[in-house]
C-alpha cells in the first residue's frame, strides 16, 4: 500500500508542478524620466515587475557631478490619500564604479497607477521628484525546472515519509522492544498506511484544486489591453472604437484626460515603416474616436493609439486597418506625416557619427541629424538620443517652435511592430501622468528637463532604452516655422 501511495503522490505532484504559460504584452514597459529634483537633474529608469506583487528595479543617475550624496526612493499610489502619507523610504545604493549612479529595488503590491518618489540630497540641499509607474501584471511567473524538480522530490519524500510513519505506528506501536509484529499487527499497519495514503492523496487533490483556483484568479488579474476596431467610411473618415475585454473593474472608457492637448495620439504606420502619420482623433462618444484621414495609398496599416486615464495609467491600444486608396483632406493643426522613407544616410566625423534622417523636408531647407557616438546600441541601457536640426545652409536652426508644448517627439518602433514607444525629451512617461504625480508632492512641481524657456536650442534629446534586440526605426518630429518636420532613422540593436 505504501508503494501505491508513492505512485499516487508522484502523479498528483507532476500535475501541480507543470509550468504555467507566460503571457506577454506588446510594448516597452520600462519608464524613463529626465527631470529635476530640486537643484539636481536626474536621469531615472524604473523597470516595473512583470508579475504583481513584484519587485521594481530603480536606477538614478545624476546628470552631472552635482554633489548628490544620497538618494532615497519609495513607492506610493500616484494620487489620492495614499500619495500623501509616504512610508519610510529606502536608500538607493551608490555604484562603486560610478559615484553618480544609485540603484535600488522596491515592492509594487497592486496593479494600477503608482509612482516612485525619488529624493536627492547633496551639497545644494534636497529635492524630490515623482516618477509615474503603471504597474500592469504582464504574466504569471513560470517555475524553473530546478525548483520544479526540487519541489517534486520534496513532496514525494514528505508524503511517502508520512505514510511510512503512520504505517509503522499502526503495526508496531503496541510492541515491546525487539518483539516481532504478529499478523494482526501487520494488518493494522497496512490499514493505517492505506488510510494515510488516502489522506495524503486527498491533501494533494485539495492542494491542486486550490492551486488551480488561484492560478485562474491571477490569470484574470493579468493585464488585458484595451481592444480597438478601425473602419473607414466614405470620404476617408476613420472611426476607432475601443472595447474593454475585461480586466480591473475600475478601468473605464470615459475618463481619458488630455495629454499635450489631445485625448488621443494616434500613430499609423505601414508594415515596412516607410509611411508614418501622427494624428489626433476627436472623441465623439465614450470609447469612440473619429479622424478625417489624409491621402493614403491602398494597403494594410498598423495603428497605435496612446491614451491616459484620469488615474494616470497610460495605455497603448493597437489595431489594424486595411483600406483602399483614400483621397482625404489636408493635414492641419498638430497632425503630421512622413512618406517615402528610403533609408538613412550615414557619414562620419572625427569622433561622432552623424546620421541624416531620411524623409527630411526639402521645401524649407530643414535637415535633422542624429548625433551619436560609435558605441553599438544595446538593450536595457538608458541612452540619450540627440538630434540636431539644421537650416538650408547646414547651420544649427535657431527658429524652432514648441510642438504640442515640447521641443520634439520621438517614436521608437521595432521592425516587426511588436515594440512601440512614444517618447518626449522628459522621457517615456506621459506628461499628464507626470502632472498628476507632481501634484501629490507638497512642494511646487519640479521643472522637467525640456528646455522650454527662451529660444529653443537646435538639438533635442530623448532618454530611452531598448527593451529587446532587433531592428528599430526612430521617427523624430520637431516644429519649425509652424510646420512639423519628421525624419526617420534606422537603429540596429543586436
Asked if residue 368 and residue 455 are part of one domain, the reply reads yes
Asked if residue 273 and residue 155 are part of one domain, the reply reads no
C-alpha–C-alpha distance, residues 69 and 99, integer Å:
9
Burial bucket for residue 249 (CB in 10 Å: 0-12, 13-18, 19+): exposed
Which residue segment(s) compose the domain that 6 sits in? 1-223
Asked if residue 124 and residue 237 are part of one domain, the reply reads no
Q: What is the pLDDT of residue 261?
A: 93
Residue 443 has pLDDT above 70, yes or no: no
Contacts of residue 323, defined as CB under 8 A and 6 or more positions apart, other chains included, come to 232, 296, 298, 299, 301
Asked if residue 134 and residue 46 are part of one domain, the reply reads yes
Asked if residue 338 and residue 261 are part of one domain, the reply reads yes
Q: What is the pLDDT of residue 428?
A: 94
Q: What is the pLDDT of residue 40?
A: 94
Residue 336 has pLDDT above 80, yes or no: yes
Task: Give the end of a domain, one of 223, 239, 271.
Answer: 223
C-alpha–C-alpha distance, residues 100 and 43, integer Å:
10
Mean pLDDT of 388-412: 93
Band of pLDDT at residue 340, cut at 50, 70 and 90? confident
Q: What is the pLDDT of residue 446?
A: 46
pLDDT in tens, 296-314: 999 999 999 999 999 999 9
Asked if residue 352 and residue 265 are part of one domain, the reply reads yes
Band of pLDDT at residue 4, cut at 50, 70 and 90? very low
Asked if residue 253 and residue 317 are part of one domain, the reply reads yes
DSSP 13-51: HHHHTPPPPPP--SS---EEEEEEETTEEEEEEEE--SS
Task: Give the end of a domain, one of 223, 248, 280.
Answer: 223
Asked if residue 16 and residue 44 are part of one domain, the reply reads yes
Q: What is the pLDDT of residue 350?
A: 33
Contacts of residue 297, defined as CB under 8 A and 6 or more positions apart, other chains included, come to 275, 325
Asked if residue 262 and residue 217 are part of one domain, the reply reads no
Q: What is the pLDDT of residue 141?
A: 73
Question: Which region among 6-20, 66-80, 149-163 has the lowest average model confidence (pLDDT)?
Answer: 6-20
C-alpha–C-alpha distance, residues 135 and 25, integer Å:
13
Return the C-alpha torsion angle 187, 188, 192, 198, nearest 10: 40
pLDDT in tens, 326-335: 999 999 999 9
Asked if residue 249 and residue 189 are part of one domain, the reply reads no
pLDDT in tens, 449-458: 444 556 899 9
Task: Give the end of a domain, one of 197, 223, 249.
Answer: 223
C-alpha–C-alpha distance, residues 214 and 148, integer Å:
18
Question: Which region among 160-174, 248-262, 273-287, 352-366 has the lowest average model confidence (pLDDT)?
Answer: 352-366
Asked if residue 305 and residue 215 are part of one domain, the reply reads no
Asked if residue 55 and residue 166 are part of one domain, the reply reads yes
CB 318 within 8 A of CB 266: no
Q: What is the pLDDT of residue 343?
A: 53
Q: What is the pLDDT of residue 347?
A: 38
Return the C-alpha torsion angle 154, 157, 162, 168, nearest 10: -170
Q: DSSP label at 316?
A: E
pLDDT in tens, 459-489: 999 999 999 999 999 999 999 988 999 999 9
C-alpha–C-alpha distance, residues 422 and 428, integer Å:
6
Q: What is the pLDDT of residue 444?
A: 46
Number of domains in the chain: 2
CATH of the domain at 50: 2.60.40.10
- Burial of 403-435, coded b for 16+ CB within 10 Å and e otherwise, reads bbebbbbbbbbbeeeebbbbbbbbbbbbbbbbb
- CA dist 266 → 21, 50, 240, 302 (Å): 32, 26, 10, 10
Mean pLDDT of 255-275: 95
Q: What is the pLDDT of residue 64?
A: 78
- CA dist 420 → 125, 472, 486 (Å): 38, 9, 17
Question: Which region among 36-50, 130-144, 407-421, 424-438 has the lowest average model confidence (pLDDT)?
Answer: 130-144
- Give the percent of the chain with pLDDT over 90: 65
Q: Can you give the pTM of this predicted structure?
A: 0.83
Amino acid at each position: 500500500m505504501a508503494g501505491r501511495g508513492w505512485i499516487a503522490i508522484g502523479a498528483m505532484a507532476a500535475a501541480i508542478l507543470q509550468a504555467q504559460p507566460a503571457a506577454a504584452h506588446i510594448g516597452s514597459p520600462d519608464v524613463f524620466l529626465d527631470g529635476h529634483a530640486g537643484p539636481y537633474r536626474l536621469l531615472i529608469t524604473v523597470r516595473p515587475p512583470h508579475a504583481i506583487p513584484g519587485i521594481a528595479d530603480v536606477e538614478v543617475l545624476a546628470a552631472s557631478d552635482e554633489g548628490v550624496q544620497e538618494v532615497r526612493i519609495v513607492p506610493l499610489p500616484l494620487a489620492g490619500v495614499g500619495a500623501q502619507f509616504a512610508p519610510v523610504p529606502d536608500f538607493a545604493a551608490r555604484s562603486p564604479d560610478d559615484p553618480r549612479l544609485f540603484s535600488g529595488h522596491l515592492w509594487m503590491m497592486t496593479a494600477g497607477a503608482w509612482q516612485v518618489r525619488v529624493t536627492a540630497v547633496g551639497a545644494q540641499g534636497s529635492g524630490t521628484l515623482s516618477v509615474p509607474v503603471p504597474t500592469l501584471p504582464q504574466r504569471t511567473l513560470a517555475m524553473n525546472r530546478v525548483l520544479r524538480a526540487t519541489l517534486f522530490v520534496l513532496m514525494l519524500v514528505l508524503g511517502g515519509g508520512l505514510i511510512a510513519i503512520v504505517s509503522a505506528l499502526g503495526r508496531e506501536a503496541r510492541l515491546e522492544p525487539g518483539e516481532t509484529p504478529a499478523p494482526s499487527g501487520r494488518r493494522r499497519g497496512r490499514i493505517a498506511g492505506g488510510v494515510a495514503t488516502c489522506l495524503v492523496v486527498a491533501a494533494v487533490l485539495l492542494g491542486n484544486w486550490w492551486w488551480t483556483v488561484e492560478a485562474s484568479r491571477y490569470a484574470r488579474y493579468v493585464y488585458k489591453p484595451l481592444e480597438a476596431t478601425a473602419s473607414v467610411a466614405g470620404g476617408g473618415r476613420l472611426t476607432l472604437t475601443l472595447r474593454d475585454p475585461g480586466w480591473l473593474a475600475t478601468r473605464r472608457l470615459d475618463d481619458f484626460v488630455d495629454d499635450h492637448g489631445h485625448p488621443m495620439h494616434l500613430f499609423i504606420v505601414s508594415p515596412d515603416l516607410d509611411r508614418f502619420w501622427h494624428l489626433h482623433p476627436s472623441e465623439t462618444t465614450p470609447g469612440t474616436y473619429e479622424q478625417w484621414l489624409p491621402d493614403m495609398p491602398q494597403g494594410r496599416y498598423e495603428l497605435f493609439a496612446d491614451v491616459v486615464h484620469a488615474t494616470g495609467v497610460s495605455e497603448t491600444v493597437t489595431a489594424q486597418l486595411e483600406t483602399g486608396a483614400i483621397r482625404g483632406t489636408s493635414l492641419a493643426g498638430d497632425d503630421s506625416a512622413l512618406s517615402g522613407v528610403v533609408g538613412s544616410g550615414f557619414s562620419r566625423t572625427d569622433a561622432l557619427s552623424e546620421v541624416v534622417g531620411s524623409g527630411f523636408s526639402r521645401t524649407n531647407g530643414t535637415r535633422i541629424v542624429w548625433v551619436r557616438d560609435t558605441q553599438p546600441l544595446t538593450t536595457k541601457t538608458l541612452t540619450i538620443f540627440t538630434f540636431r536640426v539644421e537650416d538650408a545652409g547646414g547651420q544649427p536652426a535657431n527658429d524652432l517652435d514648441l510642438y504640442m508644448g515640447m521641443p520634439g517627439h520621438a517614436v521608437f518602433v521595432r521592425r516587426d511592430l511588436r515594440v512601440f514607444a512614444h517618447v518626449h525629451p522628459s522621457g517615456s512617461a506621459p506628461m499628464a501622468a507626470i502632472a498628476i504625480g507632481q501634484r501629490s508632492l507638497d512642494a511646487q512641481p519640479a521643472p522637467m528637463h525640456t528646455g522650454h524657456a527662451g529660444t529653443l536650442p537646435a538639438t533635442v534629446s530623448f532618454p530611452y532604452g531598448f527593451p529587446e534586440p532587433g531592428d528599430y526605426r526612430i521617427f523624430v518630429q520637431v516644429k519649425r516655422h509652424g510646420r512639423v518636420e519628421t525624419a526617420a532613422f534606422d537603429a540596429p540593436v543586436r
